[in-house]
Amino acid sequence: MVINVVDATNLERNLYFTFQLLELGVPVVVALNMYDEARAKGFTFNLAVVERALGARVVPTVSTRGEGMDALMEAVMEEAARPERRAPHPQFYGADIESAAARIEQFIAVARPELAERYPLRWLALKILEGDGLVMAETRITGDEPPLRDALSHLMSAHQGDLASLMADARYALSAGLVREALARPAVSRMELTQRIDNIVLSRALGIPIFFAAMWLMFKLTFDVSAPFIDWIDQVAAGPLTRWTQWGMGAAGAPDWLVSLMADGVIGGVGFVLVFVPVIAAMMFFITLLEGSGYMARAAFVMDRAMHSMGLHGKSFIPMLIGFGCNVPAIYATRTLENTRDRVLTALLTPLMSCSARLPVYVLFIGVFFQESAGTVLWFIYLLGILLAVVMGALLKNTLFRGEQPLFIMELPPYRLPTLRNLTIHTWEKVKHFVVKAGTVIFAASIVVWFLLNLPWGVGSVKESYLGRAGQFIAPVTAPLGFGSWEAGSALITGLIAKEVIVGTLGEIYALSGEGAAKPAGPPDFAGDIKQIGVSFAAAARDAADNVFSTFGVAAISAQEEEGMEGLKPLIRAGFTPLSALAFMAFVLIYMPCLVTAAAFKSEFGSFKWFAVAAGYELTLAWLVAFAVYQGGTLLGYGG
């Protein structure tokens, strides 16, 4: 049973697809959707005529408001319960096509009975008639078999060998005929609202400014709305939750290592997954808003020329833009691209967009070495990422993604007001998907990292832990880039989890003696903590609302400086030179998408394959670029 959802405002083209479905011979129930909009345009339908012509039930629906759903389900149940076989093919494509199709059916039944068992016979015959490449390859039928040549020769000569056009014409003829019979439209089609909006939104003068304004607004809203909630989750997980666990387990007499595993590994891991929820929810909400309103297709229309030159699609712009905030929702945002090639290529280039988690690293190093020219250096880093994306796009387009370019042909739907229901469903689905699919991967990995940091048993310093040893191991590899210390190596390794961890690890390593995990002496103040959680959530919600209305709500660079960074600066100055710091920043920009991005790749593309490709090319590229920066700089006399 197929439920065929048909756009009532664009019946002719939609019925074309319905006729293709009917060729399969499966029972079909048609949901005549957007019925309200069609009626508002002055359309009147004679449903009985449509039902008779299609031999299928037709139910008007308005899916955004849930109207007609009960009637639709009822029709489906009735159809499913009907014992007698329906009329085999209600569509009649004309005597010539039908007789040729019958002869092809005969040929298949005799010569290839196994195909007749596997596929609907009429459908197969029609596909062979129109020379469908996929079907021909799959069935290994060439069309040159003598009985087939005989069956088709008459049609072939009458239509100059173009039977695909013939079939398309035949289907559209049926569909157009049915529309004429069953649909009454007002004679005068006035200048519609969509046209009027497009005259502004797609105009030569305003098209691009409006596009950038829309993108700027979406970016700001996504990250401004989510930021306070991210902080809130972070605080709750690191504060009360950790305290309670430590106290509870301590009281139960659990050994120190187990307390640490629970508090740092498990709770830390859960908190780590949850901090991404607000930003993914916000991103999905605004993407759905763009899609649902009809602007997404326009955005692609405006930007396609520029993106196409990089081998991408007009819609690729949006995931890449979101990438500047966070690569994780950006990978999810590639969903808006319909073609797999476009999606994968966009996802591969997105990690070169410098996400906000990399900013603390730049801020720290720029603060130490490039105080006077901070803005210039920061711009250089971001620009480097964009430039590399352009180069890699051109490179990948001509290597891994050579071959036929995906098509751009798409419908520009009328502008519509998206419904809250639609927005919440999509947002909720995406968040659930992230927590379940990506969350498990991230959670497992953060436990593994805990072990790396704390094994072998009783390890006293980071240097002797497995992490420190790994850092020592990779140090020679990064030595030609100007930062061959185990400290830098270890920080880069933890940076794979999330880029912002790099600064934290450097702090932990360089200033290890400073902090000792002070255990709370008495039982925590549960009531106080819970109250505090509620209060801070309310504050977060207020901040989010404030951010929406404030024009420049994004944290300024100075606010990105984390606590304890001041103490780190002299140590960084001792461990790096300005040149090696620059190489290190370039390396951090490029070297690898973080673990959460890997999980997003896995859940969006089904395997780690494309992540492996991204990681592979990025590691290589990062090494080469950092090498060029450091060695080139040294040659030019900037070393030392």
Partner 1 sequence: MGTTLANLLPGERGKVTKITARGTLRRRLMDMGVITGETALVERVAPLGDPMKITVKNYCLSLRKSEAEHIAVERLRS
Pick the closest to residue 501 from 608, 595, 621 (CA basis): 595
Helix, strand or coil for residue 58? strand
Which is nearer to partner 1, 131 or 248 (by Cβ)? 131
* 96 interacts with partner 1 by CB under 8 A: no
The residues that bridge with 67 in the sheet, in sequence order, are: 62
Helix/strand/coil for 183? strand
- Amino acid at position 320, single letter: M
Residues 179-218 that bind partner 1 (CB under 8 A): 189, 194, 198, 202-205, 207-208
Cα of 615 vs its chain's centroid, Å: 18
Instruction: Decide: is 635 part of the binding site for partner 1 (CB under 8 A).
Output: no
> Under the criterion CB under 8 A, does residue 234 sit at the interface with partner 1?
no
536-558 burial string, b = 16+ CB within 10 Å, else e?
Answer: bbeebeebbeebeeeeebbeebe
Among the listed residues 90, 28, 39, the one whose alpha carbon sits nearest the alpha carbon of residue 61: 39
Are 44 and 184 within 8 A, CB to CB?
A: yes
CB of 266 to partner 1, least distance (A): 50
Of 314 and 325, which CB lies nearer to partner 1 in the complex structure?
314
Using CB under 8 A as the binding rule, whether residue 43 contacts partner 1 is answered as no
Contact pattern for partner 1 over residues 465 through 484, marking x by CB under 8 A: --------------------
Strands 44-45 and 183-184: antiparallel
Instruction: Enumerate residues 279-308 that contact partner 1 by CB under 8 A.
Output: 297, 300-306, 308
Could you tell me the end-to-end alpha-carbon distance of the chain, in angstroms, rounded to an integer? 73
How many other CB atoms are there within 10 angstroms of residue 287's CB atom?
25
Q: How many binding residues for partner 1 (CB under 8 A)?
A: 38
For residue 556, the minimal CB distance to partner 1 (Å) is 33
Which residue of 44, 153, 165, 620 would you call a contact of partner 1, by CB under 8 A?
Answer: 165
Q: Does 340 bind partner 1 (CB under 8 A)?
A: no
> Is residue 12 at the binding interface for partner 1, with CB under 8 A as the rule?
yes
Taking the complex as a whole, how short is the minimal distance between the CB of residue 189 and partner 1, in angstroms? Answer: 8
Residue 238 binds partner 1 (CB under 8 A): no
Q: State in angstroms the smallest separation of the CB of 514 from partner 1.
A: 55
392 to 431: interface string for partner 1, x by CB under 8 A: ------------x--xxxxxxx------------------
Residue with tokens 């591969």: 348
- Give the max Cα distance, the chain: 94
Which residue, 250 or 406, is less far from partner 1 as judged by CB? 406
Which residues are registered as beta bridge partners of 32? 6, 60
Which residues, 6+ apart, have CB-to-CB distance to 233 below 8 Å?
271, 274, 275, 277, 278
Q: 128 to 157, contacts with partner 1 by CB under 8 A? A: 133
Beta strands in 128-172 (DSSP E): none
In the shown chain, the binding pattern of residues 353 to 392 toward partner 1, with x for contact by CB under 8 A and - for none, equals ----------------------------------------
Site for partner 1 in 516-555 (CB under 8 A): none
Could you tell me which residues come within 8 angstroms of residue 106 by beta carbon, excluding any fewer than 6 positions away? 147
Asked if 265 and 237 touch (Cβ cutoff 8 Å), the reply is no
Give, in degrees to the nearest 5, the angle at Cα 183 between 178 and 187. Answer: 125
Q: What is the DSSP letter of 620?
A: H
Q: Binding residue for partner 1 (CB under 8 A) from 2, 3, 5, 13?
A: 13
> Which residue, 147 or 406, has its beta carbon nearer to partner 1?
406
Shortest Å, Cβ 444 to partner 1: 41
| Residue ranges binding partner 1 (CB under 8 A) | 10, 12-13, 16-17, 133, 164-165, 168-169, 172, 189, 194, 198, 202-205, 207-208, 297, 300-306, 308, 314, 404, 407-413
